[in-house]
């Protein structure tokens, strides 16, 4: 298959490289020239423009920062590709933009999927991403081999924008649960409880969750968590704030009451304002500890 791939950043670069490994022809384009040089070294055909990248492509994938980028790139590329070309957006974007992108594609007679991912840059490189997919089931079924080249778990969530809905609901749980785990460790410290003792109990009790057992925000109990590596991301505070803001915009327009999601968005906004946007989101425990008058 010939695939046009637009946006070769932290996620898109390794995802496109995995498509090459699966023997697809990948024609890549990014506005950043250094990324084009890197793409070339991974077997991606480095194209000088969007038009060049989508020329002759059966499928076009976008992996871009936000909804406005996706809408503008899809508008441009829909003027270039023939009807019937499959369009897949893997970016994390707001629900309204995702619906708008599907509508634009349908008007041109192009099947389309929203397919945001989780698994971070590690998952993108290893080809173990989880894809959450919105769009028609038969379009999803036909595109399975593309997703299998880049991910391990591929879940059809429903009609258009259902993938984005699943992504922001999941990440709202993640943001809230990381704050909850951080608060528990800070309270435990105040009560004289060791990190390991709290971990040993909560990880096998009803407090068990991914933020604790896979991504523990204190060094020690889970050696692979970013807490053991000076909170280097992983998943940066800026991206968590982005996703929480998307969840709150969606909650507002859909009329859902999400008080803990709103509080998590507020706390991550403060975390970012304090200069932690480049730190892993689990580092919010340090802000909670400082607010409690303690240092690490
Ligand atoms: P990134 O900033 O590294 O990559 C985005 C790329 O898009 C950049 O290289 C930029 O130059 C390019 N770009 C922007 N406008 C363009 C245009 N008009 N034409 C061509 N290229 C253009 O971001 P990323 O970390 O790769 O994230 C991409 C998306 O994936 C985001 O929506 C993000 O929320 C989502 N995401 C990221 C992670 C992560 O851990 N980084 C995890 C899950 C989801």
**Distance between CA atoms of residues 182 and 238, nearest Å:** 18
pLDDT at position 296 over 80: no
Residues 139 and 12 in one domain: yes
**Distance between CA atoms of residues 125 and 176, nearest Å:** 27
State the residue range of the domain holding 169. Answer: 165-291
Domain count, the chain: 2
153-188 pLDDT, tens digit per residue, is: 999 999 999 999 999 999 999 999 999 999 999 999
Which residue in 29, 26, 7, 30 sits closest to 17, CA to CA? Answer: 26
Residues 199 and 149 in one domain: no
Task: Tell me how far the alpha carbon of residue 7 lies from the centroid of ligand 1, in angstroms.
Answer: 6
Is 97 in contact with 143 (CB distance < 8 Å)?
no
Residues 212 and 119 in one domain: no
> Which helix (H) or strand (E) is 252 found in, with range?
helix 237-254
* Residue at 296 is within a domain: no
> What is the structure's pLDDT at 234?
85
* Residue at 88 is within a domain: yes
CATH assignment of the domain containing 287: 1.10.1040.10
> What is the structure's pLDDT at 226?
96
Which residue in 50, 37, 43, 38 sits closest to 5, CA to CA? Answer: 50
Q: What is the mean pLDDT of residues 66-77?
A: 98
Share of the chain above pLDDT 70, in %: 100
Residues 140 and 176 in one domain: no
Task: Tell me how far the alpha carbon of residue 22 lies from the centroid of ligand 1, in angstroms.
Answer: 22
Residues 235 and 287 in one domain: yes
Which of 15, 27, 30, 279 to mutate for ligand 1's pocket (most ligand atoms within 8 Å of CB)?
30
* Residue at 112 is within a domain: yes
Strand pairing category for 117-118 and 59-62: unpaired
CATH assignment of the domain containing 147: 3.40.50.720
7-43 pLDDT, tens digit per residue, is: 999 899 999 999 999 999 999 999 999 999 999 999 9
Residues 135 and 186 in one domain: no
Residues 194 and 283 in one domain: yes
**Distance between CA atoms of residues 5 and 58, nearest Å:** 11
Indicate which atom in ligand 1 lies nearest the CA of residue 29. Answer: 20
């Amino acid at each position: 298959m010939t695939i046009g791939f637009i946006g070769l950043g932290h996620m898109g670069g390794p995802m496109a490289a995995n498509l090459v490994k699966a023997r697809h022809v990948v024609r890549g384009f990014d506005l950043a020239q250094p990324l084009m040089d890197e793409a070339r070294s991974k077997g991606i055909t480095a194209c000088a423009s969007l038009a060049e990248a989508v020329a002759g492509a059966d499928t076009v994938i976008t992996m871009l920062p936000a909804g406005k980028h996706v809408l503008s790139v899809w508008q441009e590329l829909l003027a270039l590709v023939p009807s019937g070309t499959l369009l897949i957006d893997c970016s994390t974007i707001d629900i309204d933009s995702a619906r708008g992108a599907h509508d634009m594609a349908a008007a041109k007679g192009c099947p389309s999927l929203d397919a945001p991912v989780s698994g971070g840059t590690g998952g993108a490189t290893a080809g173990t991403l989880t894809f959450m997919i919105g769009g028609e089931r038969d379009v999803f079924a036909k595109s399975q081999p593309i997703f299998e080249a880049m991910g391990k778990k591929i879940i059809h969530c429903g009609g258009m924008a259902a993938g984005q809905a699943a992504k922001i609901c999941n990440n709202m749980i993640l943001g809230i649960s990381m704050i909850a785990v951080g608060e528990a460790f800070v309270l435990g410290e105040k009560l004289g409880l060791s990190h390991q003792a709290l971990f040993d109990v909560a990880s096998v009790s009803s407090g068990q969750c991914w933020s604790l057992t896979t991504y523990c925000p204190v060094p020690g109990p889970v050696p692979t968590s970013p807490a053991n590596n000076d909170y280097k991301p992983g998943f940066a505070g800026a991206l968590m704030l982005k996703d929480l803001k998307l969840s709150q915009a969606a909650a507002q327009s859909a009329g859902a009451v999400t008080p803990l999601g709103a509080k998590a968005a507020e706390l991550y906004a403060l975390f970012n304002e304090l200069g932690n946007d480049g730190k892993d989101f689990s580092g919010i425990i340090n802000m909670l500890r400082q607010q409690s008058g303690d240092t690490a």
